[in-house]
Amino acid sequence: MTLLERKEAVEYAIQELAEILSSEAIRGALTPEERKCDEHCEALWKLRKDSATARHFATLSGLDLIQSQSIIARPTDKASDFSGDAVVQDPYLTYVLHLLATSSSDVTSFDSLFRHAAELYRHGEWPVPILREFKDDVDFQERSRPYKDGRQKDVVEREYFISIVIYEVHRIFNVPPTRNDASEHRDSACDIVAEAMTVLRTRPNSFPGVKRIWMKRALVV
């Protein structure tokens, strides 16, 4: 699959998912956790616009590799940008720190931080150091998602429509519906739908999460 073909597939999935997920029937089927995560992410994006510290780390796409590596390795970033005065004056940092403080026991805080960091990377923007450290710890399995007692509500209607979009991406763009977790390629319909879900700032926005929906709902599509 070429880059252009993948871009077209992602744009198709975004268009289809946006129409489906914005319907009243589907919005009403969101779990309380999903609604709260949406609220956190929306608040973070709004506060970030006025955050001087966030703007300092924002532009990743304009940096060359050597410049990027120097920022990654700079040991003073965290200390200099997160002094007590900076946090008090920056509501965005205060919000991030609040979510970090509760992320070890609260699933919604954990998911909101991870999703916000993933969205920043997707937009070519650099997260503030404490958020970057959080996502790195999760990616390298040094920090685990907190255990949630009880099963999350199974939103059947939502999963059914997501599985239809997976099938349509598979059919129209001639890509496999899913793939083996160890596969090097990332051109399955589940990968493409996961990328589209990230753009739309909704969940599931990871390959494993979308694949789980496909495996559960494929027989009824």
pLDDT per position as a tens digit, 127-165: 999 999 999 999 888 999 887 654 445 567 788 889 999
Q: What is the DSSP letter of 22?
A: T
Mean pLDDT of the chain: 81
Residues paired with 59 in a beta bridge? 125
Query: Residue 26 domain-assigned?
Result: yes
On the question of pLDDT at 69 being above 60, the answer is: no
pLDDT at residue 22 in the model: 78
Mean pLDDT, range 170-191, rounded to an integer: 90
Residues paired with 125 in a beta bridge? 59
- CB 199 within 8 Å of CB 124: no
**Distance of alpha carbon 146 from alpha carbon 131, whole angstroms:** 17
Percent of the chain with pLDDT over 90: 44
Q: Is there a single domain that holds both residue 178 and residue 190?
A: yes
Could you tell me the two tokens for 180?
Answer: 């083996």
Rg (CA), the chain: 19
Considering only residues 3 and 65, tell me which one the structure prediction assigns the higher pLDDT: 3
Tokens 């004056």 identify what position? 89
Tokens 């450290």 identify what position? 133
Q: Is there a single domain that holds both residue 19 and residue 49?
A: no
Q: Is there a single domain that holds both residue 20 and residue 82?
A: no
Q: Is there a single domain that holds both residue 60 and residue 23?
A: no
Q: Which of 110, 139, 168 is the last residue of a domain?
A: 139
Q: Is there a single domain that holds both residue 40 and residue 74?
A: yes
On the question of pLDDT at 206 being above 80, the answer is: yes
Q: Give the residue numbers spanning the domain of 165.
A: 3-30+155-220
Q: Which of 37-46, 79-88, 104-113 has the lowest mean pLDDT?
A: 79-88
Q: Identify the CA nearest to 38 among candidates 100, 94, 119.
A: 119
Query: Residue 146 domain-assigned?
Result: no
Q: Is there a single domain that holds both residue 193 and residue 113?
A: no
Q: Is there a single domain that holds both residue 18 and residue 75?
A: no
Q: Is there a single domain that holds both residue 134 and residue 37?
A: yes
Contacts of 72 (CB under 8 A, 6+ apart): none
On the question of pLDDT at 194 being above 50, the answer is: yes
On the question of pLDDT at 72 being above 50, the answer is: no
**Distance of alpha carbon 140 from alpha carbon 134, whole angstroms:** 10
Query: Residue 147 domain-assigned?
Result: no
Q: Is there a single domain that holds both residue 61 and residue 100?
A: yes
Q: Which of 95, 114, 139 is the last residue of a domain?
A: 139
Number of domains in the chain: 2
- CB 210 within 8 Å of CB 10: no
Query: Residue 175 domain-assigned?
Result: yes
Query: Residue 195 domain-assigned?
Result: yes
pLDDT at residue 156 in the model: 75
Confidence of residue 29 (pLDDT cuts 50, 70, 90): low
pLDDT at residue 60 in the model: 52
- Under DSSP, is residue 115 helix (H, G, I), strand (E, B) or coil? helix
Q: Is there a single domain that holds both residue 55 and residue 124?
A: yes
User: How many Å separate Cα 81 from the centre of its chain?
Assistant: 24
Mean pLDDT, range 4-26, rounded to an integer: 87
Confidence of residue 86 (pLDDT cuts 50, 70, 90): low
Query: Residue 150 domain-assigned?
Result: no
pLDDT at residue 94 in the model: 93
Query: Residue 184 domain-assigned?
Result: yes
